[in-house]
Chains A and B, each alone.
Chain A
Amino acid sequence: PRDVIKHPLQNSWTLWYFENDRAKNWEDNQVEIYNFDTVEDFWALVNHIKPASEIRVGTDYSLFKKGVRPMWEDPANKNGGRWLVSLEKKQRGPELNNCWLEVMLCLIGEAFDEFSDDVCGAVMNIRPKGDKIGIWTGDGTRTNSIMEIGQRIKSRLNIPAKVLIGYQLHRDLTVKNSSVIKNRHQV
């Protein structure tokens, strides 16, 4: 019967969890939690794990296409960058949970249409100074696609027009002493 068949996603995805255990090296602290490729399995996961606002400060959730590790060193990320959405501390609660869920729905639902192929994944950082959600794309030179993705992120997250979000290249982040990260694009 129709309802037994699960709804397939365009891509397979992996949810990762990062916790900074100083005894281990950074890459080993990224733990694969679960792979899924249907709507039903996505919800089974999300309904099962702690929501974003309840995981410890200093940890991350990341959702990436299967085979892409949630780090700029991965070949799929190396030449790309991220749209960065910064939240205030007081938003760590339902607002953060809704924002992260909406980003995940954009990813698994291919909300960027043909530009979805440029999307690698998204990272959610829980940090003392304020939480951040980054939506990662794989090629920092594809301006048209990057801007389209940025526009849709703003509308899906109901970010007011006057509030700008910036797109940063990963390689700009690796410049050690740079305090101010250059936004290559804004929308």
Chain B
Amino acid sequence: GTRIVYDRSFLLQMRNSP
């Protein structure tokens, strides 16, 4: 099946988004 993968740069970018 498919897996929802997030790399660290995307996750870190999301840290301060509203």
Residues of B within 8 A of A40 (CB): 14
Of B7, B11, B12, B15, chain A has the most CB atoms within 10 Å of the CB of: B11
Binding site for A on B (CB under 8 A): 3-8, 11-12, 14-15
**Residue A109 at the B interface, CB < 8 A?**
yes
Contact present for B15 and A109 (CB under 8 Å)? no
Residues of B within 8 A of A102 (CB): 8
A selection of 7 A-B contacts at a CB cut-off of 8 Å is A43-B14, A105-B12, A108-B11, A110-B6, A111-B7, A113-B3, A116-B3
Main secondary structure of the interface of B (DSSP, over half): loop
Bound state CA distance, A116 and B5, in angstroms? Answer: 10
* Residues of chain A from 1 to 60 with CB closer than 8 A to chain B in the complex: 7-10, 39-40, 42-43, 47
Partner of A7, one of B3, B7, B14: B14
Residues of A within 8 A of B14 (CB): 7, 39-40, 43
Bound state CA distance, A111 and B5, in angstroms? Answer: 7
Q: How far is the CB of B15 from chain A (nearest CB, A)?
A: 5
**Residue A142 at the B interface, CB < 8 A?**
no
Residues of B within 8 A of A43 (CB): 14-15
Residues of B within 8 A of A111 (CB): 5, 7-8
Q: How far is the CB of A69 from chain B (nearest CB, A)?
A: 24
Contact present for A109 and B3 (CB under 8 Å)? no
**Given A43-B14, A47-B15, A105 and B8 contact (CB-CB distance below 8 Å):** yes
Bound state CA distance, A72 and B4, in angstroms? Answer: 27
Q: How far is the CB of B11 from chain A (nearest CB, A)?
A: 5
Q: How far is the CB of A114 from chain B (nearest CB, A)?
A: 7
Bound state CA distance, A58 and B15, in angstroms? Answer: 29
In the complex, which residue of chain B has the Cβ closest to the Cβ of A6? B14
